[in-house]
Structure 1
Amino acid sequence: MNKYAIKAATAAFGAAALTVGALTQASASEPAQDGPAASPAAYADYLAHSRQEGAAETLKEFNALTPREQDRFIGYLQDPPLFKDFLEQSTDEDGLAATADGTRTTSLRNGDVSLEAHHSASIFAATAAKRPLPKGNHTVTRSNKIKLLGVTVMEFKIWETFYSNGRTITKVVEADGGKKNFSGVVKMSKGIAKKQLGKQSFCKKGGSCSSGNTAVASIVWEGEAVVSGGTFQIDKKQTLVSNVYGTATSSLVNV
């Protein structure tokens, strides 16, 4: 997979991401008193009883960790700044030419933690660069995930399908998103995905400019996280904007 550059607001899903003002003063090293982050056994039990798709596979990956690794895993679940870094990852991303599927990975905590930003596009959108996309529907997807010792704990995803008439985008056919959340400490709900046409100017280097439509998809995520006695209030708006040349930008910012 080709790497692509993403401008992050800090060193690291997806503005200071979490609304940190609501975080009470608590040490990240304090053990959780109860819940899935209390111990490896509690987390395994949480996954075993989860009805969320992918829980069984996540449990298998967690059980494959050594006891020492599972202890470190639980310690990371209780680390508020870690989730802050994750939700800051996709803030204010640069425009990215959809030349191929691509993933950008940022490693933290001596490589134990990885933050991944992934992009994918339908075949025509993935080959566009200098010419408008051909007539038809085209789909672009963005996702951000956090992995602890190789185990995916959270993932946010947004996608949109739009129609090109060969010159500009004339309709946003569909917009939606999805999530995986096996953190056990973060609760989030997805609002109704919104879609609309936007406007954008295209200027040739040293030449004239023209205007066209963009496809805009957005989702508001709401929730909170309780980690080691500290509470995060989470209100995030995830936006994806694509143009007729196959370039897309995305952001995840405070509401």
Structure 2
Amino acid sequence: MSLGLHGAQVTLDGQDILSDIDLTFRPGRFVGLVGPNGAGKTTLLRVLAGVIVPMQGQVTLDGRPLSGLAREERARRIAALFQGAGVGWPMTVREIVALGRLPHRRAFASLAEADDAAVERAMVRTDIAHLDARAEPTLSSGERMRALLARALAVEAPWLLVDEPVTALDPAHQLDAMALLRGVSRDGTGVVAVLHDLTLAARFCDRIVVLAGGRLVADGTPEEALTDVILNEAFGVTAERGWASDGTRYILPWARSGAQTEERDDVTITG
């Protein structure tokens, strides 16, 4: 079982957003898509989800062209959460999460017992069960993100694609969300997430894919894909590395490559 991108080329408004991308993803792995702003990360995720059709190349799911699958089957097999995803009208948290069961239900059919169980599991995993009766407009941005993530989890699809899942979360919930996604992958789901925090990506992801300028720069384990050379090439930064008290290796982006700093009193000027 695999989700593949083969020779993908995406051009928007005359600009190449993705150029000749070849990637294959396997279930049971947590993959982080990283790169500078404008690198093409979200576009790549949208191509994998079938939201954007590449001008060249194709996406395959288990060796079959994704474009050849019925929309309902695709929705059951690939769950996706993109930045800016909203609800559209006032709903309770439970109702939001229950939308994730739509691919498994007939039109206008009520929730079956299996649907209720999937909704409950998703809310428990994202720590929002206590918010089940809250209306969407009353949620904080972090609570809303967790509700939308629960909606994606409720699909219980073999593939989960997530765009910047920790952006609106406080540090504790960032850690919870990353541990949750890693746990979902350990249960057999293929997880691909766009991430900006290289420290979290290096700590939690099994594999890192680095994009820059719409091209693939690196693909491998965190140690292989986030070397000093690649960080300089893709991000223009240097990093500090070390070992946490629990024995986990960490990476911390620290300064712009080649930056010179001049300290004046308590102000540091970079130039």
Alignment TM-score, normalising by the size of structure 1: 0.23
Give 1 or 2: higher strand fraction. Answer: 1
Give 1 or 2: higher helix fraction. Answer: 2
